[in-house]
Amino acid sequence: MVVNRILSLVFALVTLFNFSASAIVVEGEIDNGSEMSAFILHHVVDDHEWHFYGEGEKAIHLALPIILVDNGLQVFSSDRFSVVKVDTLHGHHGEASVEKYAQTEDGNYALFHGKIYKTENGVLNFDEHGHPTNTRPLDFSITKNVAVLFLATIIMILIFFNVGKAYKTRGVNSAPKGLQSFMEPLILFVRNEVAIPNIGEKKYAKFMPYLLTAFFFIWIINLLGLIPFLGGVNLTGNISFTVVLALITYFITQFSGNKDYWKHVFLPPVPVALYPIMIPVEIIGTLTKPFALMIRLFANITAGHIVVLAFIGIIFLNKSAGWSALSIPMGLFISALELLVAFLQAYIFTMLSALFIGTAVEEHDHHDDHH
């Protein structure tokens, strides 16, 4: 019974993914820099639909399932946000601004700047800063980022089950073939250049599954973000995604820390009078490392997407095709640079993870203590 229910839920979710024309909210003309910044920022954050190309009625996009917890489970397609409402707001300085938002046909929910609100009698109320005052239901929707996460997972499963099977059937000592010969140098690179130098010959094997997973996962998602007409997916440029990756590194480091590592944190080799200062500093020190990992990946990838969009945006901001002579080569150059950055960030994340794990499992020589 349970299996049947799960299957019917999965089937219901799959039918909610459907290609269609017409975007959720019609975007207006872009006349100045701040409208362009808003447009660019809208395209680097998460969304409830997966937009490929085109605008307004002609836009081709993939509608994604909306899953809300609000008097039970509410599951429907994001295409049901089809009623566009326009509201003129008066800010506290007296300036008027026009806000557009989308509503479901039954008028129960409204979508405003990527967030879903419960409407009160079919309207969205705004405060003087232009923020809606309506309540928000718990949102477990399969957004664009979640869909990309699934896509990357499927790609990794296909690659590594194929490669793993090749080693199983033909043995580890025979020459690699096909996809295997592409992956083997990369796997050896992670082992020989990242894991062994930073963790050490004796202990590296236990951490290889995590390091390989992190490396290929980040790299594949970074590359997915660079494919044109794939909606400019920006999953590694999402702070919630990078915080989870950084926390996994943090917990692996702390749980594999040996006696020397904890001694260095709680009994550092300084006079006892300095302990009240040094111990908090050491504890904060363990937290800043994953924090930097999180910010580095997030900011690098987001900045790359923003720069490419800004170069292309120059054409539309000046409303002249002549600017494309400047902005297309520059955008192409940055895109090519981003191919390098996609690899480099995956490498740096993996290498710093290995470095932090290495300091936690390192065996110290005790002859130079207490001198």
Is 80 strand, coil or helix?
A: helix
- Contact present, 256 and 356 (Cβ < 8 Å): no
Least distance CB 332 / another protein (angstroms): 22
Is 62 strand, coil or helix?
A: strand
Question: 231 or 304, CB closer to another protein?
Answer: 304
Size of the residue set binding another protein (CB under 8 A): 17
Listed ranges 114-122, 153-161, 327-335, 340-348: which one lies at the site for another protein (CB under 8 A): 340-348
Of 136, 23, 35, 129, the closest CA to residue 82 belongs to 23
Least distance CB 295 / another protein (angstroms): 6
Listed ranges 86-94, 208-216, 247-255, 293-301: which one lies at the site for another protein (CB under 8 A): 293-301
- Contact present, 65 and 28 (Cβ < 8 Å): no
Question: Residue 356 phi/psi, 5° resolution?
Answer: -65, -40
Of 314, 145, 353, 334, the closest CA to residue 226 belongs to 334
Q: What CA–CA distances, in Å, run from 365 to 260, 362, 368, 369?
A: 10, 10, 7, 8
Q: Is 309 in the site for another protein (CB under 8 A)?
A: no
Footprint of another protein on 344-363 (CB under 8 A): 344, 347-348, 351-352, 355
Which residue's structure tokens are 């440029």? 237
Site string for another protein, 188-217 (x = CB under 8 A): -----x---x--------------------
Least distance CB 306 / another protein (angstroms): 8
- Contact present, 84 and 56 (Cβ < 8 Å): no
Least distance CB 292 / another protein (angstroms): 4
Least distance CB 240 / another protein (angstroms): 14
Residue 331: count of CB within 10 angstroms of its CB: 20
- Per CB under 8 A, the list member of 296, 328, 337, 359 interacting with another protein is 296
Listed ranges 92-100, 102-110, 127-135, 296-304: which one lies at the site for another protein (CB under 8 A): 296-304
Question: 337 or 355, CB closer to another protein?
Answer: 355
Listed ranges 172-180, 226-234, 266-274, 342-350: which one lies at the site for another protein (CB under 8 A): 342-350
Percentages of the chain per state (helix, strand, coil), in multiples of 5: 60, 15, 25
Say how far apart CA 239 and CA 45 lie, in whole Å.
Answer: 10
Footprint of another protein on 146-175 (CB under 8 A): none
Q: Is 40 in the site for another protein (CB under 8 A)?
A: no
Q: Is 295 in the site for another protein (CB under 8 A)?
A: yes
Say how far apart CA 155 and CA 330 lie, in whole Å.
Answer: 31
Q: Is 303 in the site for another protein (CB under 8 A)?
A: yes
Footprint of another protein on 219-248 (CB under 8 A): none
Q: Is 37 in the site for another protein (CB under 8 A)?
A: yes
Say how far apart CA 254 and CA 212 lie, in whole Å.
Answer: 19
- Contact present, 118 and 134 (Cβ < 8 Å): yes
Question: Which residues sit at the interface with another protein, rule CB under 8 A?
Answer: 37, 193, 197, 292, 295-296, 298-300, 302-303, 344, 347-348, 351-352, 355
